[in-house]
Structure 1
Amino acid sequence: MATSPPGARKRRGLVPALGLAAMIVSMMQTLVVPVLGMIQNDLDTTTAEVSWVTTATLLSAAVFTPLFGRFGDQYGTKPTLVGVLVLMIAGSVLAAATSSLVLLILARVLQGAATAIFPLALTVLRQEVEPARLPGAMSLVSGTLAFGSGLALAGAGLLTQGADPDYHRVFWLATALAVVALAAVLVAVPASGKRTGGRTDWLGAAALALMLVQLLLPISQGHAWGWTSAPTLALFAGAAVTTVAWVVIERTVREPMVDMRMFVHRPVLFSNIAGLLVGFALFFLFIGVSYLVQTPADIAGYGFGASVLQASVVYLLPAALVSLVGSQFGGTLVRRIGAPGTLAASACLGLIGFAWLALARDSTPSVIAAGALVGLAASFGYAAMPALIVMGVPPHQTGIANGINSISRSAGSAIGSAAITSLLASQTIDALPPGVPALPTDSRYTLSFALAGLAFALVLLAAMALTTSRFPSRPSSVPGAAEPTAEGAPVMSPGGAPRAEALP
């Protein structure tokens, strides 16, 4: 009986291995959301202090993701990917073993490095997968992002049930999954000889990291500090000044960390805008639906009185499962109607889903169905964004470009989390029974879901701007393909997908 060569066997397991690794990226963002109150009580700390458990990961991702993306381009994706997973495992073990807030925050900094896994995984796919299969492979790996978010919420809910709940179990789950992902990467990902080498732009990396920290820190802490407080305004002003300094640095150094021309290339620009908006809207789904369904209807006049576990498993997990199934078809859509068309489909589904939540959320099936539409929207959006990135940058900048796109999604998630928290707290029900915490009025949920729908409407405008653009093209044997010009800039087909023969 004929057998496949070793390389073929490795490539057969490549997409599942990278999908598992990428799933951890989104898990790290939502893993602690259901257990923050438990961590606060167990460690006897304040709400402001425990919020650093989430903020630390966000800031760490902002610092490490572009740097590791660049390392992957320079020194090889597999060793960089393995190194990131080792850091993530170390952080997960520390978080699972400690009962100190300081050490837990340090652990979350190490876990934040996981965000770099996704752009590195896409770089591996661009290097190792044949062009005809590339859109589907990218879609499958991208689809694990939305699935991982829902899985983390459900897993945290399941692991903290019982008479003696313990949040440490959540971090042991993260450790186990990361170890499995590391083993899969070591076995399935081939060592690539494609490395750009060159110097690391440490000054540019430091300026980018400082700018992102100054931007994301007040976004994540603004609700606690006050949006017009001196620290918040000072950090936003510092971010603006540092952005100018970073642009000057990148335009003057010989080997910049980021080619600034990449940002103004339309596919990359609109992909980053879409990433920001989809990340924003998804956190409106996670937080809004979670709070909504846990509200007791006999007190507030709305809600379902669900437990934390029911909110995660019954109401949010279906959206994650639908997104995983939808990722099977995202690559097909990219091939058939192009990345802009797929992004437009994502926007329409998200807009319908949030309109449904805003107008008809009075039954469990209605909330679940609307959430499923948003989950499907996320899977199609995440399938389109990597394809837009691929058409916008040459192969040696894939890692850093997708790293920036990952940061845009993280920034959108941070903004969405802060925005919906502020909205729900801005108008509460009067005359609640003694001992009942403040509850938002029902109209706050309507406004929140309408705002998330508006975010998807803006994604639709971005997709339409790309769809109606005219890109230079020439005949190709593969529909929806792109090839680099002599200057290294990719040429796109009218459908907006990259020409396959240009992809290594």
Structure 2
Amino acid sequence: MLIPALCFVVMITAVMQTAVVPLMPDIATQLGVSPNAVGWIVTANLLTATVCTPLLGRLADRRGPRRVLLCILGVVLVGSLLCVAWDSLPVLVAGRALQGMSFALFPIGVAVLRSALGPHRLTAALGIMSGTMSVGGGAGMIAAGLLYRDGDDYRRVFWLLVVLAVIATALAWFVVPDSPGSGTSSGADFWGVVGLAVGLSALLLALAQGGTWGWVSAPTIGCVVAGALVLAVWYRHERRFDAPMVTPALLTARAVAPAHLAAFLVGIAMFVQFLAIAMFVQVAPEQAGYGFGASVLETSLLYLLPGQVVGITAAGVSGLLVRKFSADRVLMAACAVGVCGFAFVGFAHDRPWQVIVAVAVLNIFVSVAYGALPAMLVEHVAPHDTGVANGINAIARTFGSSLASALVGMLLATITIAGTDIPSERAFVAAFAIGGVTALIAGFTAAASRA
């Protein structure tokens, strides 16, 4: 019962991230705000995730994962209730910020599994849980398509998030076993907490708002420079501090650095395929000469759902593959599948079946890769560092997804059909090429980790 319960708990992270994306234009209309303003419902969510995930992972290592997991779910539930309680953008942004703490559920779930299961069962469980989270993004899109129609109150989808948070909290309360933490004080490294929060927030803010501010504008460049400088000072502080919040070796050691870089690259590839394909199939062919004019519902059920089913199946197999062949080899194979999927959709996207097949292939890549990444870390980190190490890995994926969102948005805005603002077919092909290249580099990264 523990594995299915944790799969559901961590899946809500991805659902909460993606279910609101199709609604953003309608949210802006219903609240009477600009598209730039409504973008903060995504930015606030990612900022909270970036700041809190590694810190909550470390707290779980020290205080026990069950206690921290239940506290996070309580905060997420409060945030979900805020999203439906008032029809107001500031309250909605605040609720989405609280929901961002759900990103820490996955690394803490890894810590729970490691403490509760033996090594023989652990790899299979990690594969299933990781793959389930990877398909949660598509599940969120499908849920939005099923629940929302043009003109409906956008809060119908947020009520679903409330229900999911309640169920997840109940499951965690009754199923997740208690386990002791390391007992080390979690409040000693104050400047380490502040430096990590400020540095990561500045970099993510540049990625999230660069398209609005301008990529070479003073605010964007300022955030990048400030974030890099703060993180450099933070890293030096952590190396000298006796009890650091994040041990530098968990970032840069040869045994774990490839897993973090691969997670960043897989995050890029995953979000490229999710965004680019979802937007491609919705383009009206009579206007652009490509695309299928699909609605949000058709996109969800026809183009995404079959791939989600395949992805869930692949997730169940990924743990068995990791146990038999090792995590780095499985990641290499998954990335090779990803390269093939992106190459296929780049050249063949004139028929619906071609896109459906490509989505299925790419979901195999993402699900298996997500199952291999935590296994790569568990092989090389001590049990008392499981939460924070996987928290860092989760943040690497988040930064990859944020960069992918910015890249796809920039491509679709700049490579357009002459005389219109409609993206050219070449823009989507370029996005698929970026996904393929990042999957290829992730595979080489996994291979390098074996040297």
Q: TM-score, normalised by structure 2?
A: 0.98
| TM-superposition CA deviations, 1:8-58 (whole Å, max 9, x none) | xxxxx1101111011011112212111000101001111111110100000
Match of 1:28 among 5, 16, 24: 16
1:464 equivalenced with 2:451 (yes/no): no
Q: Please name the residue that 1:214 is paired with.
A: 202
1:197 equivalenced with 2:180 (yes/no): no
**How many percent of aligned residue pairs carry the same amino acid?**
39
Match of 1:451 among 422, 434, 450: 434
| TM-superposition CA deviations, 1:343-396 (whole Å, max 9, x none) | 001101111111111110111111011011111101111111111111221111
Seen in structure 2, the aligned counterparts of structure 1 residues 185 and 407 have a Cα distance that, compared at 3 Å, is same
Q: Distance in 2 between matches of 1:44 and 1:262?
A: 45
AA matched with 1:205: V
- The 5 Å alignment of 1:146-295 reads 146-161=134-149, 164-200=151-187, 201-295=189-283
The residue matched to 1:392 in structure 2 has which SS?
Answer: coil
| TM-superposition CA deviations, 1:396-443 (whole Å, max 9, x none) | 1111100011111111110000100000111211245xxxxx211111
Q: Distance in 2 between matches of 1:388 and 1:267?
A: 9
Seen in structure 2, the aligned counterparts of structure 1 residues 199 and 93 have a Cα distance that, compared at 3 Å, is closer
Seen in structure 2, the aligned counterparts of structure 1 residues 322 and 202 have a Cα distance that, compared at 3 Å, is farther
1:145 equivalenced with 2:133 (yes/no): yes
The residue matched to 2:255 in structure 1 has which SS?
Answer: helix
- The 5 Å alignment of 1:382-461 reads 382-431=370-419, 438-461=421-444
Q: Distance in 2 between matches of 1:464 and 1:364?
A: 35
| TM-superposition CA deviations, 1:68-122 (whole Å, max 9, x none) | 1111011111010000000101111110222110010000110000001000000
Q: Distance in 2 between matches of 1:383 and 1:442?
A: 33
Alpha-carbon contact 1:262-1:392 (below 8 Å) kept: no
The residue matched to 1:134 in structure 2 has which SS?
Answer: helix
Q: Please name the residue that 1:102 is paired with.
A: 90
AA matched with 1:73: D
Q: Distance in 1 between matches of 2:181 and 2:99?
A: 28
CA-CA distance at 1:202 after TM superposition: 2.2
Match of 2:108 among 117, 120, 126: 120
CA-CA distance at 1:131 after TM superposition: 1.3
- The 5 Å alignment of 1:309-348 reads 309-348=297-336
Q: Distance in 2 between matches of 1:465 and 1:444?
A: 32
Alpha-carbon contact 2:60-2:181 (below 8 Å) kept: no
Alpha-carbon contact 1:284-1:420 (below 8 Å) kept: yes
Alpha-carbon contact 1:351-1:457 (below 8 Å) kept: yes
AA matched with 1:372: A
Q: Distance in 1 between matches of 2:406 and 2:304?
A: 20
AA matched with 1:355: A
1:83 equivalenced with 2:71 (yes/no): yes
Alpha-carbon contact 1:23-1:144 (below 8 Å) kept: yes
Q: Please name the residue that 1:63 is paired with.
A: 51
Indicate the RMSD between aligned Cα atoms, in angstroms.
1.1
Alpha-carbon contact 1:265-1:392 (below 8 Å) kept: no
Q: TM-score, normalised by structure 1?
A: 0.88
AA matched with 2:158: F
Q: Distance in 2 between matches of 1:61 and 1:166?
A: 27
The structure having more radius of gyration, on CA atoms, is 1
Q: Distance in 1 between matches of 2:237 and 2:312?
A: 41
Q: Distance in 1 between matches of 2:400 and 2:111?
A: 23
CA-CA distance at 1:139 after TM superposition: 0.6
Alpha-carbon contact 1:266-1:392 (below 8 Å) kept: no
CA-CA distance at 1:266 after TM superposition: 2.6
Alpha-carbon contact 1:296-1:302 (below 8 Å) kept: yes
Alpha-carbon contact 1:31-1:156 (below 8 Å) kept: yes
Q: Distance in 1 between matches of 2:423 and 2:255?
A: 39
From the two aligned structures, give the one with the greater helix fraction. Answer: 2
| TM-superposition CA deviations, 1:321-340 (whole Å, max 9, x none) | 22111111101110111001
CA-CA distance at 1:267 after TM superposition: 3.5
Q: Please name the residue that 2:337 is paired with.
A: 349
The residue matched to 1:86 in structure 2 has which SS?
Answer: helix
Alpha-carbon contact 1:275-1:405 (below 8 Å) kept: yes
Q: Distance in 1 between matches of 2:392 and 2:296?
A: 33
May I ask how many residue pairs the two structures share in their alignment? Answer: 450
| TM-superposition CA deviations, 1:151-205 (whole Å, max 9, x none) | 100101111126x412101111111111111111111111112433224222101
AA matched with 2:441: L
1:361 equivalenced with 2:359 (yes/no): no
Q: Distance in 2 between matches of 1:400 and 1:199?
A: 12
Q: Distance in 1 between matches of 2:15 and 2:268?
A: 16
Alpha-carbon contact 2:63-2:180 (below 8 Å) kept: no
Long gaps (5+) in structure 2: none
CA-CA distance at 1:317 after TM superposition: 2.3
Q: Distance in 1 between matches of 2:186 and 2:220?
A: 35
Q: Distance in 2 between matches of 1:234 and 1:402?
A: 29
| TM-superposition CA deviations, 1:212-236 (whole Å, max 9, x none) | 1010001011111111000000110
AA matched with 1:320: Q
1:301 equivalenced with 2:284 (yes/no): no
CA-CA distance at 1:264 after TM superposition: 2.3
AA matched with 1:266: R
Seen in structure 2, the aligned counterparts of structure 1 residues 160 and 66 have a Cα distance that, compared at 3 Å, is same
